[in-house]
Structure formats: structure tokens, C-alpha cells
Structure 1
Amino acid sequence: MKAINIHSRTIGQPKAKVSQLFKTLATQDDLIWPCENWPAIRFKNGLRVGSHGGHGRVRYTIIDFREGDYIKFQFTKPKGFNGTHELMISEIDKHTTEITHEIRMKTNFKASLLWIFVIRWLHDALIEEAFDKVENHFQNNKKKTTYNFWVKQLRTYYKRKAFQTKPA
């Protein structure tokens, strides 16, 4: 299956200010990733081409990176996710910036089911929450993504599963 998933948000700030936040991605002082509610994103060798990392059960390698403009990742897990995802920062005008997250991948049958019924829902909620975090950095009137019923159920299931202990 071919999967394309695009999220964009317009931020009423110059690109230079928004780009400063993206320098914190995957650090202890991350101002982008909603690690308050999701597994943190980490990379073995920081934000540089060739660095391996991910979040939760999703793994990838950084394949292209231009600080302040974009970062592009190649999926390595889950198995059957063959493609990339990219985070881009674009100047609309000198006072307005657009941030975009884009997935382009092909999936095998099993991975297609995982994408359709689980990961896409969680991914969409996570990205919208990350974009809220960026936007909220610059405004007093805070945005908050609300989870739909399915996302709440999936999060409950995976939290419960994460705390289960495996027999020795």
C-alpha cells in the first residue's frame, strides 16, 4: 500500500525564531516533541546524517538534514514500513512560517494493517500535539490537541502493555 500523510501548521513568527526551536529536537530541552505525553525521540549521535534513533517502537535513520530548513528520516522499523518522513520549516513571508511533517512510504500487507488501524491514529495525534507545542511557545492562548476515542483506547492499551512484566 502507498501511504502519504501530511500535516502542516502556519506559525505567526519569522522562520528564524521557529528554526531556533527545532535546534532542541531530540535533546533534554526539547521544545518541539511532546515527550510529556509520548515516548521521547532520541538519536544515538544527535541530529546529523547517519544517526540512528526513533521514538517508542518506531525507528529510523537521518538521511538528510539542513539545520533550520528540514530533517529527513528513513524508516527502519516497524518492518514493512519502506519510506521516509520529513519535518520541514518554510518561510511564507518575513512574519509567517509553515511547519510540515510528511510521511511517504509503501507498506507490505501486515504493515498496512498496522498503519491503518494503529500507527496512523497515534502518529496524527502526536504530530498535532508537537505542532501545538511549537505554536504555544509563541502565544499566551494555548492550543491543546484532544484525542479521539480510538487514540484514547490505543494509548490505554499500549500503556498497560508497557507495564506488564515478562516471565523470567
Structure 2
Amino acid sequence: MVRNVHTRRFPVSADRLVSLLDTLGTPHDRLWPVADWPPTRLDGPRTPGTPAGHGPVRYVVEEVSPDRLRCRFTAPAGVDGHHEFTIDGGALTHVLEASLHGRARLTWPLFFRPLHDALLEGLLDRAERDLTGRVARPVRWSPYVRFLRALGKIGSRVGRPAAKLRT
């Protein structure tokens, strides 16, 4: 079982975090680090059952409330679980919980986890910049993350039309 948690506390009201989270996956996304990563897309309204994803990762919206957005993974194969954003006071938290099967037992620790961690810290940096106007300690990619990104030619597709997501 994998449990991966990223959280950051901000000197703002929960309402400001809710407003920021509401932009996730929209054309006016202020949270996702689209300059460095493939954008996250929702294939419809933010309601349970809506397909979504970014890069090779696919999920379906499972739960939506002002202080929570939970999605269940549909791809890659071998990843059974969910990821969610929650807001508690001035804290924004992302939790990924999943059981891994088959190749995912190898690809998660070697490939997906380092990239996921870098992406989530970049997302929290972006939240900090939006909410406070600056980032106290910006994320720095490790040499391994830079190697993986170069190997997979990972980058943003900003400006390119979004394809419909299939789950």
C-alpha cells in the first residue's frame, strides 16, 4: 500500500484556498504547474463520474465538496486507489493512497513517485505564489527527476488542444 502526502500551510483563509482549488483542471487553472508538467484536464463538469487526467495518469472524479476533491485512478494499470486534495483551515493537502499490482510495483518507486513528488511540490509552490505573492523555498528538481523528465520528454502542452480523456 502506498500513502504519499504533500501539505503546505498558508497564512490565508480556507475560502481563498477553496477558490484556488476550484480552478484546478479548468482553462483558468491557477494551481496546476502547467509551465513544467502536462496539464490536468477534466472531460466535463467537476461532478462525480467525470473522467480526468494528466499525462499517462487517468482518473474519474469521485467526490466533490468545497474542501475536498477526490478522484479514483483508472490508469495506469496496476494502480488501484485514489488521490485527493483537501483544505483544512489554511492548509492544502494532497494525499495519494493506492495498492500496487504487477508492473506498477516497480514503476511507482522508480518512475512515478519521484515525478509525482516534484509535480506536487511545484503545485504547492504555485499555490504559495498565488496566495502570498512569493515562494519562500521553491522546489528544486533532483538530478534523477531531471533525468526522468528528459528520458520521457515530459513537458507542458499549454496551447495545444486537449484531447478527450478516455477511462
2:5 equivalent in structure 1? 6
2:61 equivalent in structure 1? 62
1:148 equivalent in structure 2? 142
1:84-163 map, 5 Å: 84-91=82-89, 97-143=90-136, 144-159=138-153
- How far the C-alpha of 1:155 sits from its partner, in A, is 0.4
Counterpart-to-counterpart distance in 2, 1:35 and 1:133: 10
Asked if 2 retains the 8 angstrom alpha-carbon contact of 1:82 and 1:107, the reply is yes
Counterpart-to-counterpart distance in 2, 1:151 and 1:124: 9
Q: Scaled by the length of structure 2, what TM-score is found? A: 0.88
3-state SS of the aligned residue for 2:103?
helix
> 1:2-24 CA distances to partner (integer Å, 9 max, x unpaired)?
11101111011000111111111
Counterpart-to-counterpart distance in 2, 1:69 and 1:125: 23
Asked if 2 retains the 8 angstrom alpha-carbon contact of 1:63 and 1:73, the reply is yes
Code of the residue aligned with 2:120 in structure 1: it is: I
Q: Scaled by the length of structure 1, what TM-score is found? A: 0.88
Code of the residue aligned with 1:29 in structure 2: it is: H
Where relative contact order (Cα < 8 A, 6+ residues apart) is larger, the structure is: 2
3-state SS of the aligned residue for 1:122?
helix
Counterpart-to-counterpart distance in 2, 1:119 and 1:46: 27
Counterpart-to-counterpart distance in 2, 1:108 and 1:141: 40
Asked if 2 retains the 8 angstrom alpha-carbon contact of 1:26 and 1:46, the reply is no
Counterpart-to-counterpart distance in 2, 1:112 and 1:23: 32
Asked if 1 retains the 8 angstrom alpha-carbon contact of 2:20 and 2:30, the reply is yes
- How far the C-alpha of 1:106 sits from its partner, in A, is 0.4
2:78 equivalent in structure 1? 80
- How far the C-alpha of 1:115 sits from its partner, in A, is 0.2
Counterpart-to-counterpart distance in 1, 2:143 and 2:59: 28
3-state SS of the aligned residue for 1:138?
helix
3-state SS of the aligned residue for 1:86?
strand
More deviation, 14-23/50-59? 14-23
Asked if 1 retains the 8 angstrom alpha-carbon contact of 2:128 and 2:134, the reply is no
Counterpart-to-counterpart distance in 2, 1:75 and 1:29: 24
Counterpart-to-counterpart distance in 2, 1:149 and 1:120: 14
Identity across aligned pairs (percent)?
31
Counterpart-to-counterpart distance in 1, 2:43 and 2:133: 35
- How far the C-alpha of 1:46 sits from its partner, in A, is 2.6
Code of the residue aligned with 1:53 in structure 2: it is: A
